[in-house]
């Protein structure tokens, strides 16, 4: 029995799955953890560059048969065509999470609104957003160029004939063709005269007549037929005017199908889960935040099981640029390992999904817990700075998570550690609350930094190692420690990995952009508790 925890429900993990660099599934992830090498690879988004990133190893086709067993044949194709990689990673991880306990898929469905889904993202689906933004930019330039032509804009003809419009921007013809100034001026010029185009106003009047036709008071094919007729008439109108595609027709609805809550929504749909599904978003602290929300919902009796997780898109040039200009990204074509050169981190993408639940309830159904028991989760905000962690904020989360745990009981601690100068202060501030013999791990040099999913990977690695009584290796040697880190005389897992007390508590701290923190405390399951639950279930089965 945990100190002071008799009035709380015991929370276990009953399914998990992930997608990570060089790891399309949990088995590959665990195999790779046994080695101390990095899973990073050169970033190709700019062509040649000096960035290393964590590309997810993933093929959505792997899950085709799973869908064919449960849904009409078109379902898989719809998801493949409409969902971006962020959503597909989450779907794959969720399907994996159903495989460790036979029957849990049907059990989650049977819970009705008492099974929740909290799956979020750090960056959102930047892949789809960028693709559709480019489609819009191309379309709006073509559109403005067409309607701003003198033959379609009487005010421009008057302007050119000497009736000057004083509000008009400078004529780009007065600038060197092809220069940046010319490009900016040309866009401003065309935007201005498009807004005054008399031909465009006539086109819009005719288009409004087409769009104003009401949908008939029927259902199904009648409504769809009306929509198709309108689209055909708009195409005919465009052909009549000879104009390009409207900019409002250039952006795919896939932009909507990949907003932040869609990973959770898709999991609810393919899992046929009726409880609330939404996206907790807390940058790098997101996984711990989702876990805290799940534990709270279970303890309040609002849920018996919760699917939690995070998912991030593959590394993208826009994201790399933002991280670089935030001065937190390594750019020397070599692996930047936490606690060493403090050169910056590496962007990575992928997902991690857990099924957590009331251990008594789920074990009574015959399901076996995985990893360790979740015994305390703390959250906090720095209320200080958007990217530089404070001392007090993370410590508040640690204290809340360790409220029922003695510092001496915590045998290993996984750091947020982004290979930036913050690593040294994180060690210093953590040691103020931990036992000096605690063993630290820092794995972002292994698989990179997923904005929201990194904490999930790190927690999963911690749980997988602890249940075997051994912490997986980290690419680190004592002599490589940065001087600002070494001065604190902390103990770190290195190239060989290390054995660990199989009954000790573990901690995991995550610190997110915006100053949000989460801390998760876990411990291996008490064998006596597991035996009692197994025996009581078998007795109940014999009695029935």
Q: What's the CATH number where 358 sits?
A: 3.40.47.10
Q: How many whole angstroms separate alpha carbon 60 and alpha carbon 379?
A: 34
pLDDT tens track for 201-231: 999 999 999 999 887 776 666 678 888 899 9
What is the band of 5 on the pLDDT scale with cuts at 50, 70, 90?
Answer: very low
Determine, yes or no, domain membership for 538.
no
Residue 4 above 60 pLDDT?
no
pLDDT of residue 219: 60
* Structure tokens that stand for 397 in this block: 């989360």
Residue range 65-69: mean pLDDT, rounded: 98
Q: Do 241 and 264 belong together in one domain? A: no
> How long a stretch of residues is the chain?
544
Q: Give the tens place of pLDDT for each residue, 264-280.
A: 999 999 999 999 999 99
Residue where a domain stops, chosen among 249, 272, 290: 249
Express each pLDDT in 238-259 by its tens digit.
999 999 999 999 999 999 999 9
Give domain status of residue 3, yes or no: no
Report pLDDT digits (tens) over 84-120: 999 999 999 999 999 999 999 999 999 999 999 999 9
Assess whether 339 and 465 both reside in one domain.
yes
Classified as helix, coil or strand, 119 is strand
Q: Is residue 241 part of a domain?
A: yes
Q: CB within 8 A of 56, min separation 6: which ones?
A: 19, 20, 21, 24, 85, 89, 314, 348, 349, 350, 351
Mark whether 120 and 153 lie in a shared domain: no
With respect to residue 537, please indicate whether it lies within any of the assigned structural domains: no
Tokens of 141: 């330039």
On the question of pLDDT at 6 being above 80, the answer is no
Mark which of 192, 221, 249 sits at the end of a domain.
249
> Domain of 200?
129-249
Across 540-544, average pLDDT: 53
Tell me whether residue 542 is in a domain.
no
Question: Per-residue pLDDT for 1 more than 70?
Answer: no
Q: Which of 11, 1, 5, 4 has its CA nearest to residue 295?
A: 11
Q: Rounded to two decimals, what is the model's pTM? A: 0.95
User: How does DSSP classify residue 302?
Assistant: S
Q: Are residues 117 and 150 in the same domain?
A: no
| 230 and 170 in a common domain | yes
Angle between helix 286-299 and helix 454-466 axes, rounded to 10 deg: 70
What's the pLDDT at 544?
46
Residue 536 lies in a domain: no
Q: Is the pLDDT of residue 536 over 80?
A: no
Model confidence at 2: pLDDT above 80: no
Answer yes or no: do 15 and 85 share one domain: yes
Give the number of domains in the chain: 2
Question: 423-433: per-residue pLDDT in tens?
Answer: 999 999 999 99
Residue 37 resides in a domain: yes
The reply to whether 135 and 110 lie within a common domain is: no
Instruction: Give Cβ neighbours of residue 53 (< 8 Å, ≥ 6 apart).
Output: 40, 41, 42, 43, 315, 320, 346, 347, 348, 448
Contacts 24+ apart (CB under 8 A), 328-334: 328/387, 328/418, 328/420, 329/51, 330/51, 330/52, 330/419, 331/50, 331/51, 332/50, 333/42, 333/50, 333/51, 333/52, 334/52
Residues 349 and 472 in one domain: yes
Choosing from 207, 230, 249, the residue where a domain stops is 249
Residue pair 440/426 in contact (Cβ under 8 Å)? The answer is no
Helix, strand, coil share (%) of the chain residues, nearest 5: 45, 15, 40
CA pair distance 427, 1, nearest whole angstrom = 31
Q: Is the domain of 33 the same as that of 59?
A: yes
Q: Is residue 541 part of a domain?
A: no
- Are 318 and 457 within one domain? yes
Same-domain status, 417 and 501: yes
Exposure of 271 in the CB half-sphere (CA atoms within 13 A): 37
Same domain flag for 166 and 118: no
pLDDT for the residue numbered 129: 97
Q: For 396-422, what is the mean pLDDT?
A: 97
User: What's phi and psi for 156, nearest 5 deg?
Assistant: -70, -40
């Amino acid at each position: 029995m945990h100190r002071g925890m008799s009035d709380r429900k015991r929370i276990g993990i009953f399914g998990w799955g992930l997608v990570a660099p060089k790891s399309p599934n949990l088995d590959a992830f665990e195999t790779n953890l046994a080695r101390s090498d990095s899973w990073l690879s050169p970033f190709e988004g700019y062509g040649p560059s000096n960035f290393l990133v964590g590309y997810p190893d993933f093929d959505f086709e792997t899950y085709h048969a799973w869908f064919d067993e449960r849904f009409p044949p078109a379902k898989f194709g719809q998801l493949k065509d409409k969902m971006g990689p962020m959503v597909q990673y989450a779907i794959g991880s969720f399907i994996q999470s159903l495989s460790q306990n036979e029957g849990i898929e049907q059990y989650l469905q049977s819970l009705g609104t008492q099974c929740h889904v909290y799956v979020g993202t750090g960056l959102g689906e930047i892949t789809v957003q960028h693709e559709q933004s480019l489609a819009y930019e191309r379309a709006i330039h073509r559109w403005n160029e067409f309607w701003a032509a003198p033959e379609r804009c009487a005010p421009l003809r008057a302007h050119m004939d000497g009736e000057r419009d004083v509000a008009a921007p400078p004529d780009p013809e007065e600038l060197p063709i092809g220069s940046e100034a010319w490009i900016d001026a040309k866009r401003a010029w065309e935007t201005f005269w498009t807004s005054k185009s008399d031909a465009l106003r006539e086109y819009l009047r005719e288009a409004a007549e087409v769009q104003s036709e009401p949908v008939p008071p029927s259902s199904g094919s009648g409504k769809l037929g009306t929509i198709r007729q309108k689209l055909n008439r708009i195409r005919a109108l465009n052909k009549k005017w000879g104009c390009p595609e409207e900019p409002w027709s250039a952006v795919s609805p896939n932009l909507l199908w990949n907003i932040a809550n869609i990973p959770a929504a898709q999991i609810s749909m393919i899992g046929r889960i009726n409880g609330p599904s939404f996206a907790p978003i807390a940058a790098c602290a997101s996984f711990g935040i989702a876990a805290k929300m799940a534990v709270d919902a279970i303890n309040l009796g609002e849920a018996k099981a919760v699917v939690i997780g995070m998912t991030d898109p593959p590394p993208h040039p826009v994201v790399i640029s933002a991280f670089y200009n935030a001065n937190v990204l390594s750019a020397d074509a070599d692996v930047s390992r936490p606690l060493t050169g403090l050169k910056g981190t590496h962007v990575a993408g992928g997902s991690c999904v857990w099924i957590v639940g009331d251990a008594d309830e789920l074990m009574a159904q015959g399901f076996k817990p995985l990893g360790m028991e979740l015994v305390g989760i703390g959250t906090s905000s720095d209320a200080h700075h958007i990217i530089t962690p404070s001392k007090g904020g993370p410590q508040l989360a640690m204290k809340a998570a360790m409220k029922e745990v003695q510092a001496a009981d915590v045998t290993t601690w996984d750091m947020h550690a982004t290979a930036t100068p913050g690593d040294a202060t994180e060690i210093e501030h953590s040691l103020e609350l931990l036992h000096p013999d605690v063993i630290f791990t820092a794995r972002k040099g292994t698989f990179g930094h997923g904005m929201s999913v990194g904490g999930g990977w790190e927690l999963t690695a911690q749980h997988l190692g602890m249940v075997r009584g051994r912490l997986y290796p980290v690419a680190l040697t004592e002599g490589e420690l940065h001087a600002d880190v070494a001065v604190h005389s902390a103990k770190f897992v290195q190239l060989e990995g290390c054995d660990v007390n199989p009954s000790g508590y573990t901690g995991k701290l995550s610190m997110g952009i915006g100053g949000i923190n989460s801390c998760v405390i876990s411990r291996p399951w008490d064998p006596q508790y597991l035996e009692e639950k197994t025996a009581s279930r078998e007795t109940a089965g014999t009695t029935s």
